[in-house]
Amino acid sequence: MPVEKRTPIPVEEAVKKIVQQTKTWGTENVAITDCDQRILAENLIATNDVPPFNRSPYDGFAIFSDDTNGASENKPIKLLVLETIGAGQVAQQKVKSGTAVRIMTGAQIPVGADAVIMLELVKETTENGQPYIEIKRKVKKNDNISFQGEDTTEGELLAEKGTVISPGIVALLATFGYHSVSVFKKPVVGILSTGTELLDVHEELVPGKIRNSNAYMAAAQVKAMGAKVKLYQHREDDFESLYESITAILNESDLVITTGGVSVGDYDYLPAIYKKLGAAVLFNKIAMRPGSVTTVASYKGKWLFGLSGNPSACFVGCELFVRPVILGGMNDKKPHCTLYKATLGADFSKANPFTRFVRASLSIGLDENVVIPAGLDKSSSVSSLLAANALIVLPGGTRGWEKGSQVGVLSWDGEGSEWPWDSPLFSKSSAIKTAEKLR
């Protein structure tokens, strides 16, 4: 059989094809205790003013400010203390001229009081068994009052649907009585590695075999993206059993990630499996390195991601193509890796017609971000993933890059990007033209 000729498409076009087909995973209600890092499927609206009543920001005395007119070191004024209230208590009596209520931080300002003076600024006395305070200064109306609604007002839109729930948002949900909250569902991602050479993690090495690292790596990646993972026992490169496994996994998952067996080799069965399934292949060759063989197909509303068997290629394919499907389906407004501009900290000499994604270590600085390649730059490398927190994006058709160059970097750390692909740092370049020549 002649080897299949594949037509590479530019990376951004591949990502666009995916984004166009992304649909939401639906919504569910989760308890406030389980909602952190999920994505809001409803607007977060203030259901009351915060604070809900005028309150004291200090431990002190609630007074009627006009009583302090003319008060001075030599001429203190004296007020009768009616009662004491702590936070959570409400004064029983009104503050009238000549009186005060001892009040603790967080307690509601008593009716009639229009200012608070701190404990440290008064002298406490007793006369005829009655508690009094002396004040030696003028206190202005509204001094030391935390006003109702000064933080938020009822009806205010605080966070829009699509926002990631941070600890701060959890605080607001609690403040406004959302004991449960509507969030976008997590998709279920089934992960299966194929390879006759693969061993389980606990197995001893034998000649010709290696341990399966891709499945565990991909599981960790998609978990970090917020998906649920179903990890399956790896399979040998055998058409029938692989076909059977994949159809079974399709029933149990929203997305199926396979690793390996997706290129043009004798035992690369994924292309034939997509064909037999009747899956619609969006692309099977991308003008990029690593990960050029990444294949994405859709089947009955489900996704099939054929990631490369080479670990670094598998990793990159997952970040570039799986991420926007998982996060986009959860209505995350920034479903792609975060784009940074950085200074290249070391020469990168390899020329390549394809857009390169170099595993790299990115340091975010106050004045400058610096990025350096993270190790052996081969798609088969595992060790270069160790120090990597980002991918340097080097547009195709270039003759190597010098230390000091400004480059675009995509990182899986950070808040994500809406659409990083238009960045001039990635210059629409000659990648595809050069790739065409190579075909």
Which residues would be at the binding site for ligand LQZAQKY5 (CB under 6 A)? 193, 195, 197-198, 210, 212-215, 259-265, 268, 290, 292-293, 308-311, 313, 379-380
Q: How far is CA 180 from CA 61, 82, 160, 170, 184, in A?
A: 39, 42, 16, 11, 13
Applying CB under 5 A, does 237 fall inside the site for Mg ion? no
Applying CB under 6 A, does 398 fall inside the site for ligand MOO? no
Residue 208: burial class (beta carbons within 10 Å; 0-12, 13-18, 19+): exposed
* Smallest gap from residue 207 Cβ to ligand LQZAQKY5 (A): 13
Which residue of the chain is nearest ligand LQZAQKY5 when measured via CB? 309
| Binds ligand MOO (CB under 6 A): choice among 195, 291, 311, 375 | 291
* Smallest gap from residue 297 Cβ to ligand LQZAQKY5 (A): 14
* Smallest gap from residue 302 Cβ to ligand LQZAQKY5 (A): 20
For ligand LQZAQKY5, give the closer residue by CB, 191 or 342: 191
Q: Which residues pair with 157 in a beta bridge?
A: 45
Closest to 328 (Cα-Cα) out of 30, 87, 19, 6: 19
For ligand LQZAQKY5, give the closer residue by CB, 210 or 351: 210
The entry of Mg ion, ligand LQZAQKY5, ligand MOO, none near residue 259 (CB within 5 to 8 angstroms by kind) is ligand LQZAQKY5
Q: Which residues in 307-326 contact ligand MOO (CB under 6 A)?
A: 308, 310, 313
Q: Which stretch binds ligand MOO (CB under 6 A): 176-184, 208-216, 291-299, 386-394?
A: 291-299
Please tell me the distance from the alpha carbon of residue 110 to that of residue 101, in angstroms, as a whole number: 8
Q: Which residues in 258-277 contact Mg ion (CB under 5 A)?
A: 263, 265, 268
Q: How far is CA 173 from CA 46, 53, 113, 126, 188, in A?
A: 9, 19, 32, 46, 26
CB 108 within 8 A of CB 90: yes
Applying CB under 6 A, does 285 fall inside the site for ligand MOO? no
Applying CB under 6 A, does 99 fall inside the site for ligand MOO? no
* Smallest gap from residue 153 Cβ to ligand MOO (A): 54
Listed in sequence order, the residues at least 6 apart from 261 whose beta carbon sits closer than 8 Å to its beta carbon are: 194, 195, 237, 242, 267, 268, 269, 270, 306, 309
* Smallest gap from residue 393 Cβ to ligand MOO (A): 15
CB 355 within 8 A of CB 9: no
Site size toward ligand MOO (CB under 6 A) is 9
Applying CB under 6 A, does 373 fall inside the site for ligand MOO? no
CB 397 within 8 A of CB 367: no
For ligand MOO, give the closer residue by CB, 294 or 369: 294
For ligand LQZAQKY5, give the closer residue by CB, 145 or 215: 215
Please tell me the distance from the alpha carbon of residue 206 to that of residue 169, in angstroms, as a whole number: 52
Please tell me the distance from the alpha carbon of residue 323 to that of residue 252, in angstroms, as a whole number: 20
- 3-class SS at 321? helix
**Residue type for 199, please?**
L
Q: Which stretch binds ligand MOO (CB under 6 A): 93-101, 117-125, 290-298, 406-414?
A: 290-298
For ligand LQZAQKY5, give the closer residue by CB, 40 or 270: 270
Q: How far is CA 200 from CA 56, 210, 216, in A?
A: 63, 9, 11
For ligand LQZAQKY5, give the closer residue by CB, 172 or 293: 293
Tell me, rounded to whole angstroms, the distance of Cα 307 from its chain centroid.
23
* Smallest gap from residue 374 Cβ to ligand LQZAQKY5 (A): 18
| Binds ligand MOO (CB under 6 A): choice among 8, 10, 190, 290 | 290
Q: Hunting for tokens 């001429």 — which residue is that?
A: 75
The entry of Mg ion, ligand LQZAQKY5, ligand MOO, none near residue 319 (CB within 5 to 8 angstroms by kind) is none
Radius of gyration of the chain (CA): 32
CA angle, 156 as apex, 152 and 159 as ends, to 5°?
100
User: Where are any strands of DSSP class E within 288-429?
Assistant: 288-289, 295-299, 302-307, 338-344, 355-363, 370-373, 390-394, 406-411
For ligand MOO, give the closer residue by CB, 237 or 377: 377
For ligand MOO, give the closer residue by CB, 253 or 379: 379
* Smallest gap from residue 1 Cβ to ligand MOO (A): 21
Please tell me the distance from the alpha carbon of residue 226 to that of residue 327, in angstroms, as a whole number: 8
Q: Which two tokens stand for residue 3?
A: 């080897």
For ligand LQZAQKY5, give the closer residue by CB, 101 or 307: 307
Report residue 219: phi and psi, to 5°. -60, -45
Q: Which residues bind ligand MOO (CB under 6 A)?
A: 289-293, 308, 310, 313, 379
Q: Which residues bind Mg ion (CB under 5 A)?
A: 263, 265, 268
